[in-house]
């Protein structure tokens, strides 16, 4: 059987990921015989300072990835804000395809494309973060014969992503971030059987096409994506189809993809937003009712005064109850550290 070596390392991180990435790259050798690609969840606007941070933290050069850029060994390629990063054959491609789990760039997109392009030559790494972006992509890497590596949850600032990866993916390499660099340096020197890669599943290829090119969405009908569910997409309000019933993954006709955890989080955010809107409406109604009371007093109309006072008191009571609930919910959310860190990187 022909032998080769793993020559592509793909890394996904979210909240707490900058610290983990610093530790990881600090342990990589300057002659690493593999290209490295990184997705860190970033806000859509602005630019990213992550390449500079990685260059300062370790011996490898780091650049913001561009479409058409070749996979260069001994270099770290970072996904820019608001663009998916994909691997197509021996080059990187940037895409403005549908968000996945509410993110663009998304970890699943990079991992899935790397699995298709590289098979056993790919090593996927999950670092600190909340929820479970990257889990489906890591499953794809393992399905194609690649290697899965996960930061030790006890070492991660946010253990959600590592814990979900370990729960759903067969993983033999679990290390603190500071030990990942030497581990990866050894893994990329171990031989792999390039002819041993299982074929690319049709659904994996379809999802990759959707992420790469918006036109790919038009080429996939509802039954190819999955069976319609009872849920709606938080991004576009379209019907979500159940892509993988066993692991609860969903995708809408526009192409937005959601894991169950990310969907529940987005639904919770939408619910909270609706409640804040309701609170504002109640407070405005109370304020307007008080002004109407003053107007009715000028007319000497006691019936209207009583009616408007009742409306103001009812709205104020409801607003107080709703405000107390929202503030209590926000306090619990902060205490549980369930909110994703926003980063200006």
Positions annotated as catalytic residues are: 14, 41, 133
Q: What single-letter DSSP state applies at residue 104? A: S
Q: What single-letter DSSP state applies at residue 201? A: P
The answer to whether residues 322 and 278 touch, using CB atoms and an 8 Å cutoff, is yes
- How many C-beta neighbours within 10 Å does residue 280 have? 12
Coil, helix or strand for 118?
A: helix
User: Burial of 257 by CB count in 10 Å (0-12 exposed, 13-18 middle, 19+ buried)?
Assistant: buried
Label the pairing between strands 84-88 and 91-95.
antiparallel
Query: Which of 90, 149, 148, 140 is closest to 116 using CA atoms?
Result: 140
Query: Which of 238, 271, 243, 235 is closest to 259 using CA atoms?
Result: 243
Task: Count the alpha carbons within 13 Å of 314 in the hemisphere toward its beta carbon.
Answer: 8
- How many C-beta neighbours within 10 Å does residue 29 have? 15
- How many C-beta neighbours within 10 Å does residue 10 have? 30
């Amino acid at each position: 059987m022909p032998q080769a070596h793993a020559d592509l390392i793909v890394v996904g991180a979210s909240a707490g990921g900058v610290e983990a990435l610093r530790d990881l790259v600090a342990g990589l050798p300057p002659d690493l015989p593999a290209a490295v690609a990184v997705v860190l969840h970033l806000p859509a606007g602005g630019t990213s300072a992550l390449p500079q941070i990685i260059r300062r933290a370790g011996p490898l050069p780091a650049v913001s990835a561009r479409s058409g850029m070749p996979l260069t060994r001994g270099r770290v390629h970072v996904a820019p804000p608001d663009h998916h990063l994909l691997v197509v054959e021996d080059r990187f491609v940037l895409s403005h395809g549908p968000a996945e789990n509410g993110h663009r760039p998304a970890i699943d997109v990079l991992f899935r494309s790397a699995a298709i392009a590289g098979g056993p030559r790919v090593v996927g790494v999950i670092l600190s973060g909340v929820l479970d972006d990257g889990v489906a992509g890591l499953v794809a890497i393992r399905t194609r014969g690649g290697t899965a590596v996960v930061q030790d949850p006890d070492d991660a600032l946010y253990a959600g992503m590592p814990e979900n990866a370990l729960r759903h993916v067969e993983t033999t390499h679990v290390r603190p971030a500071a030990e990942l660099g030497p581990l990866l340096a050894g893994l990329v020197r171990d031989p792999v059987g390039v002819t041993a890669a299982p074929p690319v599943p049709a659904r994996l290829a379809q999802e990759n096409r959707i992420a790469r090119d918006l036109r790919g969405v038009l080429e996939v009908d509802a039954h190819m994506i999955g069976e319609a569910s009872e849920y709606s997409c938080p991004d576009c309000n379209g019907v979500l189809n159940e892509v993988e019933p066993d692991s609860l993954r969903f995708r809408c006709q526009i192409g937005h993809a959601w894991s169950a955890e990310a969907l529940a989080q987005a639904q919770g955010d939408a619910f909270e937003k609706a409640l804040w809107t309701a609170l504002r409406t109640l407070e405005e109604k109370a304020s307007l009712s008080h002004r109407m009371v003053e107007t009715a007093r000028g007319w000497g109309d006691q019936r209207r005064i009583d009616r408007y006072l009742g409306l103001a008191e009812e709205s104020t009571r409801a607003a107080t109850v709703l405000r107390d609930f929202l503030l209590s919910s926000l306090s619990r959310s902060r205490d549980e550290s369930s909110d994703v860190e926003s980063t200006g990187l």
